[in-house]
Amino acid sequence: MSKPNARNSQKTPCEQCPLRPLPHFREFKPEELSFVSRFKTGELVVDAGATVLVEGSHSAHLFTVLSGWAFRYKMLEDGRRQILNYVMPGDLIGLQGSLLGEMQHSIEALTPVTLCVFERDRLPTVFHNHAELAYDLTWIASREERMLDENLLSIGRRSALERAAYLLAFLYDRSKVLNIFPNGAATLPLTQQHVADTLGLSIVHTNKTLKKLAEKTLIRWADRGCHILDDKGLRQLSGWEGFKESKRPFI
Amino acid sequence: MSKPNARNSQKTPCEQCPLRPLPHFREFKPEELSFVSRFKTGELVVDAGATVLVEGSHSAHLFTVLSGWAFRYKMLEDGRRQILNYVMPGDLIGLQGSLLGEMQHSIEALTPVTLCVFERDRLPTVFHNHAELAYDLTWIASREERMLDENLLSIGRRSALERAAYLLAFLYDRSKVLNIFPNGAATLPLTQQHVADTLGLSIVHTNKTLKKLAEKTLIRWADRGCHILDDKGLRQLSGWEGFKESKRPFI
DNA sequence: CGGGCCCTTGAATTCTCTCAAACAATGTGG
DNA sequence: CCACATTGTTTGAGAGAATTCAAGGGCCCG
């Protein structure tokens, strides 16, 4: 486990947030925006591979991902690891598992990540003075549940091939609306070990399964990442219908 | 899929709620109690085996379980079923998956179930006028996430025997604080098919796995249910530490 | 008494894991 | 620039886990 190597940098005002103009996110009223801008106390930059939060710790902060990818995971005592979900720009970190109290999972950066930092102990202000934002928080928690439900269905009941196809389609679906693939070609910044730990498979079998997907020209694995060639084909193979999500809130 | 066979019966006032006095739940202020009592519009009784909510439907209601057991599940097109979580007295139904919009999962009663009914479209009132209750809603969503995280870890990374032990310990842990085992002997009202669909295993292999737990005198399967003989042994075998939960809110 | 539901068991097959080894790409220190 | 270590990917083979198929038994209820 490497050190966070965290640097507090100057703060990007929320009014100039590069994510907020995206059509994927709901619009904010000016007063909401100004409150969030005051709620945000700083920024945190984390290296790829570094740990953002550790299971069992108490974190005084909530984070919103400004850029980069990360993942949430839990481990068993003997080292077996299960990746629970992935975190991308616009996602809130720190709400999952508990509002207060110990973190029930760890978070690790997959790429260099920039985080907006919020003080957890100012949450009551949100609930008392900003009902719409409080509603958004619950909505966000509910969205996370929906993803976990899907992942649970997948791991529990889909075959290895369907599972892999689902995961890649899922990550593609989430990321494509975030304008993070400038050249158009979607590359997921994962290793096969991450895929294995998400699907609940061994790395050897994961490799053989991904190879089958590549043989069907649904994906191509290269340059330490997964290139999505045919997202529709992946969804079809997995029997997953994709997200039915219009605009979503983000804080 | 059988019909709900739902009956609206007379309403138990929240002031006389049999669950609220339990030490497991946090105390309510009088005004919170009176608001919830007005928020509650009725009661619904559902037979064992009946479907409470169906995936894809729009439900105008939220429910709190007053008595009985149920479970949330999702299905693939070809009929494979994954049970996502169980629902017991004090649990809120209808928050998972989406605040508004289509249900993303179905719910089925395991025993006869009595539900307190709330109007979903009065949720904004909660957020605007009852910040503490709004906070509780988010807390409840967060608790559900924690359980889903644990279940995901279990299905993804635990062996069949560990998984079964975890599930039974988990259900026992949740139910023991609810005062629903009057005689002291804990019996979980499940069939082995339910266990199989929760663990992501076939029914045959589930049966053989449960038999091993019985041989270790951790459980006894009889009378259409699972008798917990040694919950500490189950936790130990599964490597699960149990809930670290003090008082919890409920609505 | 028959039918349905649930539990149980055995056997063959399929899937997935572990072990083992090798290769490619990258980065580091000399 | 090369030697070397590290990380990530690939492949084969044997062992182990879990599935499907098949059949039988117990119990409750109409």
pLDDT digits (tens, 9 = 90+) for B157-180: 999 999 999 999 999 999 999 998
Q: What is the pLDDT averaged over residues B47-54?
A: 94
- pLDDT exceeds 90 at position B2: no
- pLDDT recorded at residue A100: 75
Point out which residues pair with A87 in neighbouring strands: A70
Going by pLDDT thresholds of 50, 70 and 90, the confidence category of residue A4 is very low
Q: How confident is the model at residue A5 (pLDDT cuts 50, 70, 90)?
A: very low
pLDDT of residue A6: 44
- How far is it, in rounded angstroms, from Cα A126 to Cα A135? 10
* Alpha-helical segments (H) within chain A: 30-39, 123-129, 131-157, 160-176, 192-199, 203-215, 231-238
Instruction: Identify which of B82, B127, B146 has the shortest CB distance to residue A134.
Output: B127
Nearest nt to the CA of B206 via C1' is: D18
Q: What is the pTM of this model?
A: 0.94
Residue B3 has pLDDT above 50, yes or no: no
pLDDT tier for residue A246 given thresholds of 50, 70 and 90: confident
What is the nearest CA distance from B232 to chain A, expressed in angstroms?
17
- Between CA B169 and C1' C15 the distance (Å) reads 29
| Residue among B134, B142, B155 whose CB faces A200 most closely | B155
What is the model's pLDDT at position B183?
74
What's the Å distance between residue B213 CA and nucleotide D23 C1'?
25
Q: How far apart are CA A31 and CA A39, in angstroms?
A: 12
Region B173-188 average pLDDT = 88
Q: Which residues of A fall within a CB distance of 8 Å from B72?
A: 149
Closest listed residue to residue B134, CA positions, set B22, B251, B14, B13: B251
Q: Which of A118, A105, A110 is nearest to A50 (CA)?
A: A110
Chain B interface, mutation test: which of A74, A91, A153, most B Cβ atoms within 10 Å? A153
Distance CA A56, CA A58 (A): 7
List strands edge to edge, sheet with A106-109: A51-53, A106-109, A70-75, A81-87
Mean pLDDT over residues A201-226, rounded?
96
Q: Among partner residues B84, B96, B127, which is closest to A142 by beta-carbon distance? A: B96
CA gap A241, B102 in Å, rounded: 14
Rounded Cα distance, B237 and B14, in Å: 40
CA A110 to chain centre: 10
The answer to whether residues B118 and B41 touch, using CB atoms and an 8 Å cutoff, is yes
pLDDT of residue B11: 75
The arithmetic mean of pLDDT across residues A217-229, rounded, is 94
Residue A56 Ramachandran class (φ > 0 left, ψ -120 to 50 alpha, else beta)? left
pLDDT of residue B54: 93
In this model, does residue B80 exceed pLDDT 70? Answer: yes
Q: pLDDT grade, residue A224 (50/70/90)?
A: confident
User: Is the separation of the CB atoms in A147 and A167 below 8 Å?
Assistant: no
User: What is the rounded distance in angstroms from the CA atom of residue A78 to the CA atom of residue A71?
Assistant: 20
**How high is the pLDDT of residue B97?**
67
With both helix axes pointing from N to C terminus, report the angle between A192-199 and B131-157 in degrees, rounded to the nearest 10.
100
Number of CB pairs, chain A paired with chain B, less than 8 A apart: 151
Q: What is the mean pLDDT of chain A?
A: 92
- Return the residue of A nearest to B201 by Cα: A156
Q: Which two tokens stand for residue B184?
A: 């002291």
Residue range A180-206: mean pLDDT, rounded: 93
Please give the pLDDT value at position B187.
Answer: 94
Whether A205 CB is under 7 Å from strand C: yes
What is the three-class DSSP state of A169?
A: helix
B142/A98 touch (CB, cutoff 8 Å), yes or no = yes
What number is the average pLDDT over the span A135-159?
Answer: 96
- pLDDT attached to residue A1: 39
pLDDT band at A2 (very low <50, low <70, confident <90, very high): very low
B4 — pLDDT class (breaks 50, 70, 90): very low
Question: Strand D: which positions are within 7 A of a protein CB?
Answer: 8-13, 17-22
Amino acid present at B24 = H
- The Cα–Cα gap between A20 and A26 comes to 8
In the block, residue with structure tokens 């009378």: B223
Output the pLDDT for position B1: 39
CB less than 7 Å from strand D: which protein residues?
A 191-193, 203-204, 207-208, 210-211, 221, 224; B 159-160, 200-202, 204-206, 208
The C-alpha of A239 sits at a distance from chain B's nearest C-alpha, in angstroms, of 8
Cβ contact B90:B28 at 8 Å? no
Predicted confidence at residue B161, as pLDDT, reads: 98
- CB contact (8 A) between residue B96 and residue A151: no
pLDDT for residue A239? 96
Q: Indicate the residue of A95, A132, A149 with minimum beta-carbon distance to B104.
A: A149
Residue B9 confidence (pLDDT): 54
Does residue A161 register a pLDDT over 80? yes
A58-67, A119-128, B9-18, B205-214: which has the minimum mean pLDDT? Answer: B9-18
Closest to A94 measured CA to CA, from A67, A135, A57: A57
